[in-house]
């Protein structure tokens, strides 16, 4: 044993170091550090659809799952600062849809979205433009609005010449026309039946031959359907057949004078300056309507049915130049219709498809405006609003009923109406104990409430109860409980389809609600 190694004799042999088995922990930590995610999600914009003043849907896609946040601003207001510290809405990498139901005003909006992944990385904001809301307008017009075919003598073999009526789609939605009919006139086939906005169709009109003496005034009505709503345009048709002259005052007097016959009018009088006149003489006609009536048409025709030129002189007087033959004077007086008071709503155009309905519900105290000068036809109608309207129609009864809806508190404008509606079984709440006071009412829910209300009031609901609604493409979207009510509403003309669809789950706007209430009152209610 060597003296220098006496303490560790067992280590005199070379130490067997296995260097290739040492672990490089520093490298391992480096790899873990590099795996941390610092990449924010990337968003891809989809589209935006505006369905009313208050409602719109927006779509987008994120390439990472996480949570999204958004804000809506007026168009051109600039990018807002979006707070991502609160609770957002979970999203995955499939297309996401945002349902908006509290937009204000019909103008365009901008929606800004950001997404945050699990590591807290926040995406760059993306902007999606929500278009302005343009309320649908359903209307057609006819030109001219009156066709006067003049006067012919009984026994005529050839009817007056054909005239043409042009029907124009005056709204902003497609219209499907129905072929019109007439009793004493021959109508051509509509040149087309489907009209895009501003598109036109024509139909020809001609009196029938062989008509006996008499006055043949009719209203030619062209009907159409636009998005489930009925539209119409009227044309007044005028034609007269006189009896053949038997001589006497109707012909020549034998001294160069020719007779002037006055067809006795209703609701007014016609007097002449001459009962006979020579050719070339000026004859004055004075027309005097009865009180409450006005002159509609005044014609002078010769024995061949040709209409003579009239010159208006004022104060109810007209003149014509006597031809070389007998003439007939004919006047028609019509009742002066009282002009309705204009509606106070600046957002309800007189030509809007819902204008008559808005006037009806406003004048019958069924619906008021959302402001002194606004009706907001494109806004949604809530369940509490419809319950209140029906409650008022029933006379605002007071009922003793324990109501325990979680979202209906005492003393609200709708509280007693919902209490009554629930007690009568006209409407119920949701399974979670809420009534859904501010939820937009759907078309099928509205139909159900009207149906049950009619039953409770003892109105006849037999008309339309068995209407076949299977012709609509989305008939199976109608909830089972609502099928009888929707059948009845369709059959009674209270609710119409939207093209090939019923759209039972679609929201009923205030314009739709007004139209359905007007039809319900006119077709079902006994006032």
The pLDDT assigned to 361 comes to 94
Please report which confidence band the pLDDT of residue 4 belongs to, taking 50, 70 and 90 as the band edges.
very low
> Which H or E run includes 122?
none
Q: pLDDT tens-digit profile of 495-518?
A: 887 777 888 999 999 999 999 999
CA distance 512 to 104: 19
Superfamily name with CATH number, domain 140-242: Immunoglobulins (2.60.40.10)
Q: pLDDT tens-digit profile of 458-498?
A: 998 887 777 888 888 888 999 999 999 999 998 888 988 77
Mean pLDDT of 309-313: 94
The full DSSP string for 393-457 is: HTT----------TT--TTSTTHHHHHHHHHTTS----TTS---TTSBPBHHHHHHHHHHHHHHH
The pLDDT assigned to 212 comes to 87
Residue 97 makes CB contacts below 8 A (sequence gap 6+) with 57, 58, 59
Q: 437 near 406, Cβ under 8 Å?
A: no
Q: pLDDT tens-digit profile of 379-429?
A: 999 999 999 999 999 999 999 888 889 999 988 999 999 999 999 999 998
The pLDDT assigned to 525 comes to 86
Q: Within 10 Å of residue 511's Cβ, how many Cβ atoms?
A: 26
The full DSSP string for 238-291 is: EEEEEPPP-SGGGSB-SSSEEEEEEEPPSSEEEEES-SEEETT-EEEEEEEEPT
Nearest to 428 by CA among 415, 438, 439, 419: 419
Dihedral through CA 485, CA 491, CA 496, CA 502, nearest 10? 50
The pLDDT assigned to 68 comes to 96
Q: Within 10 Å of residue 490's Cβ, how many Cβ atoms?
A: 20
Domain 43-130 matches domain 140-242 at the CATH topology level: yes
Q: 109 near 75, Cβ under 8 Å?
A: yes
Residue 46 makes CB contacts below 8 A (sequence gap 6+) with 58, 59, 60, 61, 95, 128
Q: Is 472 left (phi over 0), alpha (psi -120 to 50) or beta?
A: beta
The pLDDT assigned to 157 comes to 84
Is pLDDT above 70 for 123? Answer: yes
Please report which confidence band the pLDDT of residue 27 belongs to, taking 50, 70 and 90 as the band edges.
low
Q: What is the mean pLDDT of the chain?
A: 87
Q: Give the 3-state secondary structure of residue 343.
A: coil
The tokens for 135 are: 């309320």
**327-335 and 293-302 beta bridge pairing:** antiparallel
CA distance 285 to 330: 11
Mean pLDDT of 362-383: 92
Fold for domain 43-130?
A: Immunoglobulin-like (2.60.40)
In the chain, where are the structural domains located? Answer: 43-130, 140-242, 248-335, 355-523
Q: Within 10 Å of residue 107's Cβ, how many Cβ atoms?
A: 14
Please report which confidence band the pLDDT of residue 270 belongs to, taking 50, 70 and 90 as the band edges.
very high
Residue 363 makes CB contacts below 8 A (sequence gap 6+) with none
Secondary structure tally for the chain: helices H, strands E: 7, 25
State the pTM of this model: 0.44
CA distances from 134 to 53, 172, 524 (A): 8, 9, 32
Q: Which of 174-188, 428-442, 453-467, 473-487 has the lowest mean pLDDT?
A: 453-467
Quickly tell me which residue has 């024995």 as its tokens: 303
Residue 462 burial (10 A CB sphere; 0-12, 13-18, 19+): exposed
Mean pLDDT of 69-81: 94
Report CA 25 to chain centroid distance, whole Å.
Answer: 74
**Strand runs labelled E in 63-181:** 66-74, 89-91, 96-100, 109-116, 126-130, 140-143, 146-153, 163-169, 175-177
CA distance 493 to 516: 9
Q: 182 near 216, Cβ under 8 Å?
A: no
């Amino acid at each position: 044993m060597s003296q220098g190694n006496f303490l560790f004799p067992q280590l005199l042999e070379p130490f067997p170091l296995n260097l290739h088995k040492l672990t490089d922990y520093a490298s391992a930590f480096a790899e873990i550090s590099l795996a941390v995610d610092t990449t924010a999600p990337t968003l891809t914009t989809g589209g935006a659809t505006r369905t009313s003043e208050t409602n719109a849907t927006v779509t987008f896609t994120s390439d990472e799952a996480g949570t999204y946040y958004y804000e809506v601003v007026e168009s051109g207001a600039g990018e807002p600062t979006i707070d991502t510290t609160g609770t957002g809405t979970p999203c995955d990498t499939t297309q996401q849809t945002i349902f908006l139901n509290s937009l204000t005003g019909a103008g365009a909006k901008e929606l800004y979205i950001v997404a945050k992944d699990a590591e807290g990385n926040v995406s760059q904001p993306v902007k999606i433009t929500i278009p302005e809301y343009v309320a649908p307008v359903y209307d057609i017009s006819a030109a001219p609005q009156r066709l006067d075919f003049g006067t012919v003598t009984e026994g005529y073999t050839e009817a007056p010449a054909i005239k043409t009526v042009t029907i124009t789609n005056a709204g902003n939605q497609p219209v499907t026309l129905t072929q019109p009919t007439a009793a004493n006139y021959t109508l051509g086939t509509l040149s087309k039946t489907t009209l895009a906005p501003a598109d036109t169709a024509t139909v020809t009109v001609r009196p029938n031959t062989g008509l006996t003496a008499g006055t043949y005034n009719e209203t030619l009505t062209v009907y159409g359907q636009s998005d489930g709503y009925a539209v119409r345009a009227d044309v007044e048709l005028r034609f007269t057949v006189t009896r053949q002259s038997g001589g006497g005052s109707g012909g020549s007097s034998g001294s160069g004078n020719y007779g002037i016959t006055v067809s006795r009018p209703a609701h007014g009088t016609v007097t002449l300056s001459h009962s006979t006149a020579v050719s070339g003489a000026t004859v004055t006609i004075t027309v005097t309507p009865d009180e409450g009536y006005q002159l509609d048409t005044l014609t002078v025709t010769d024995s061949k049915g040709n209409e003579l030129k009239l010159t208006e002189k004022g104060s109810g007087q007209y003149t014509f130049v006597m031809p070389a033959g007998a003439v007939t004077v004919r006047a028609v007086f019509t009742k002066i219709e009282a002009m309705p008071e204009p509606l106070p709503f600046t957002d309800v155009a007189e030509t809007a498809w819902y204008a008559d309905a808005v006037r009806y519900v406003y004048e019958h105290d069924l619906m008021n405006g959302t402001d002194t000068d606004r009706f907001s036809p494109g806004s949604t109608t809530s369940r509490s609003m419809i319950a209140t309207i029906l409650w008022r129609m029933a006379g605002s009864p007071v009922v003793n009923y324990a109501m325990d809806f979680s979202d209906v508190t005492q003393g609200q404008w709708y509280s007693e109406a919902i209490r009554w509606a629930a007690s009568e079984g006209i409407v119920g709440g949701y399974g979670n104990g809420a009534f859904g006071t501010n939820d937009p009412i759907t078309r099928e829910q509205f139909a159900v409430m009207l149906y049950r209300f009619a039953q409770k009031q003892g109105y006849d609901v037999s008309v339309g109860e068995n209407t076949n609604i299977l012709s609509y493409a989305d008939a199976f979207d109608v909830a089972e409980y609502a099928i009888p009510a929707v059948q009845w509403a369709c059959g009674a003309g209270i609710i119409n389809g939207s093209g090939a669809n019923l759209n039972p789950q679609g929201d009923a706007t205030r314009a739709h609600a007004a139209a359905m209430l007007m039809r319900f009152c006119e077709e079902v209610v006994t006032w």
